[in-house]
Chains A and B, each alone.
Chain A
Amino acid sequence: MFSNASQLKEKLSVFSLILLIFLNYFLLLIIKTNFFFLIFGILILLNFVLCIYLNFKNNKFIITIFCVLCVISLMSPVADWDARSIWLFNAKIIFFENNLNNFFDYNPYYSHPDYPIFVPVLSATLATVIGDWNEIFPKFSSLILALPPLIILTKNLKNKLSLLIFIILILFVYEKRIINGEIDALLSLYSILLLNLIIDIVDKKFSDKQYKIDLTLITLNVIIITLLKVEGVAIIFCILFAYLVIYGKSKVDLTKTFMVLFLLSLVPIFYWSIYSNNFIEMTSARMMLGTGERLIHNLFDFKFILHLINKILINKQMFISLLVFVFIFSKGIIFNEKKKIINFDKIIFEKKLRFCFLTIFLYSVVLTAVMIISEGSTYNVPIKYFMADTAADRYFAPIQSMLVLCSIYFLEAKKPKKNSFSYD
């Protein structure tokens, strides 16, 4: 990931930021005092600033945009529905209760207290630092969590066009979601980071030390993805399955290591699920999906299916991602009119791209199935096609990000032609 030894400080700052956020989350279950929150909050903020400072020199453009987003976040209150009613409301309860003992006492139905509280704990920590709750600072947790993947991902970009595509992802696909207190953009960032880390560790021959660092990063990444949102678990399984299909036989030793690490990384989310289920009548997943009994009925409701496909594909975020994807990949597909054949560039069939494509396909199938099953749930707002209308674009954010990641991979793998056109 960080090949140059001089970048040790930058690497350490990113590592320590992730580590502090982790400790803050896990120790909440053990140490239940406001003072603990305060100390960790200050340490996390200092580390965050240090991270920005150390990475600015080698990553000026992205860090500048990131800092502008930070300023916007610190001057805008949280207004979006899910951010207010779920994520920051749960954070507010943690902040006022100081611990998890009374967290489940007051859950007014819509707040989904069984959702993972990784981000809400960080928001509550930030509120402790300023001494009281407000509508601005706690949502800054999204940006603190977004910094490590942004730094790691942009370090790997090889040219300016890749950087531009990455900026399109941040500003035009994630848009306000990266700062509005919702989790979808974070989930997407960490998902593509995981794909990137896996591809890196498979493709490159690292030193033993570098190999261990990357394995640690992958493990932390898997834990974060699962603790961000329930969908994270589905993403992990899709990535793992795609890995087994594409690399499973050729990288036997690494596959065994991954299997163990992935399974171990699922422990925190399973622990949280078991813990939270003791306090609630019905899990949010059960409320949404039931026992899957609506799948067949909804599957044959063609009007609904068309509506769902429309909502998944026809939205700004998906349109931009697909536009970038098609535009970049059109370079690799040549239609020979005389022979009436289509030639595909070999790069399209490279393992890393197949790995991404398979993950995209699997996760799309899982998400579409979830959306089909959830339609008509008695626990939803009783509006026809409610989930399709309100969540289709958000839920597919990781898919949109993976499409953009594929475009970057293709672009970087494709070498420029020697006799290409020049303006000179």
Chain B
Amino acid sequence: MIIIKKNNVKKIYFVLILILIIFQIILIAHRNSFELKYFFKFHLSNIGLKDGIKNQKIFDIVTLIKKNDIKRYNLAEDLFDQKNKFEKIHHKLYQRVIEASYPSKFSENSNIIISLNKKKFSTCELVDKRGNIYVFKC
């Protein structure tokens, strides 16, 4: 017959609960995109943008807007997922670009157009490019 003293049972419970809490904290960190590379960098400008957006295409668009100090921009239709039949405002790309690039503002009347299609805007001036994303001034 195994006899476990009350104090030992308490210790076992405590250790088990502690392990559970530690695992849960690790899970919370993982689900919040926790990265060691951000250690004591919370005060730096624009830090965490790439991991926050989690999409290379959107990150490239936002980087181009910020790099070229564009005040107002327009997003070409070809940037949006053509399989997604929802209105543009419900697309992740639309929302993420708008909030991440602020104080630069989206405007359908802007002559700065961001696009994937180089040929379509061949008559416009190419301002900058990053990956397969182009910024045109039309």
Contact = CB atoms under 8 A, between A and B. Distances in A.
A423 B5 contact: yes
Interface residues of A, number: 45
Interface string A75-102: 1111100001100110011001000000
Interface stretch (B90-98, B114-122, B127-135): B90-98
Given A133-B45, A382-B90, A423-B4, A84 B52 contact: yes
B102 A76 contact: no
Contact of A424 (B5, B41, B45): B5
Contacts of B100: 84
B57 interface: no
Contacts of A96: 102-103
B102 A75 contact: no
Nearest to A105: B105
B38 A77 contact: yes
- 5 nearest A-B residue pairs (beta carbon): A77-B48, A135-B48, A77-B52, A132-B45, A76-B32
B33 A77 contact: yes
A74 interface: yes
Interface string B9-34: 10000000100010011011101111
Contact of B38 (A79, A136, A175): A136
A79 B49 CA distance: 9
Nearest to A68: B25
Given A85-B96, A135-B49, A172-B24, 17 more contacts: A68-B25, A76-B32, A76-B34, A77-B51, A77-B52, A79-B54, A84-B95, A85-B99, A110-B95, A132-B45, A134-B46, A134-B48, A171-B25, A171-B28, A175-B27, A381-B90, A424-B5
A167 B21 contact: yes
A265 B111 CA distance: 48
Nearest to A96: B103
Q: Which of A77, A89, A109 has the most CB of B within 10 A?
A: A77
A245 interface: no
B102 A89 contact: yes
Contacts of A76: 29, 32-35, 38, 48
B86 A179 contact: no
Give the contact-size bracket for chain B: 35 or more
A134 B17 contact: no
Contacts, number: 127
A72 B28 contact: yes
A422 B6 contact: yes
A111 interface: yes
B89 interface: yes
Contacts of A111: 99
Contacts of A280: none
Contact of B28 (A79, A133, A135, A175): A175
B38 A72 contact: no
A115 interface: no
Interface in A44-98: 65, 68-69, 72-79, 84-85, 88-89, 92-93, 96
Contacts of B4: 423
B24 A176 contact: no
Given A79-B51, A423-B6, A72 B34 contact: yes
A134 B24 contact: no
